[in-house]
Amino acid sequence: VQLQASGGGLVQAGGSLRLSCAASGNIYSINIMGWYRQAPGKERELVADITSGGSTNYADSVKGRFTISRDDGKNTVYLQMNGLKFEDTGVYYCKAEGRNSRADQYTTWGQGTQVTVSS
């Protein structure tokens, strides 16, 4: 299973960006999809994730500003980011966990997309 992320870029504080991450390959199910970010000199942290049932989980720092959603028909997860702040700057990675057609579990990461917020 492979993940292809897109949508990062440079934006001014207060602006918006929408990230997309499409999964492809030997997919039977995707149980959970999520977005993580890593700022320079810091550890990777969870931003938001969403289960196959639609339950969502957000980091406290992004609640009320970011919205995660998924389109199972397209095997794609989105992250709508509004009210961006300088501290949102970092490389954003998508992650997917599920089972392939052989019923093997997988955990896959995307390649990362840079989000830079200018203050």
Residues in a beta bridge with 15: none
Q: At 113, list the tokens.
A: 């997309």
Q: State the Cα–Cα distance between residues 115 and 98, nearest whole angstrom.
A: 27
Q: What is the DSSP letter of 2?
A: E
pLDDT score for 3: 97
pLDDT score for 119: 86
Q: At 116, list the tokens.
A: 């830079």
Q: 10, 83, 89: which is closest to 42 by C-alpha?
A: 89
Q: What is the largest CA-CA distance in the chain?
A: 48
Q: What b/e sequence results for 85-107 when a residue is b if at least 16 CB atoms lie within 10 Å of its CB, and e otherwise?
A: eeebbbbbbbbbbbbeeeeeebe
pLDDT score for 21: 97
Q: At 16, list the tokens.
A: 């918006």
Mean pLDDT by 10 residues, the chain (119 residues): 96 98 94 96 97 97 98 96 97 96 93 95
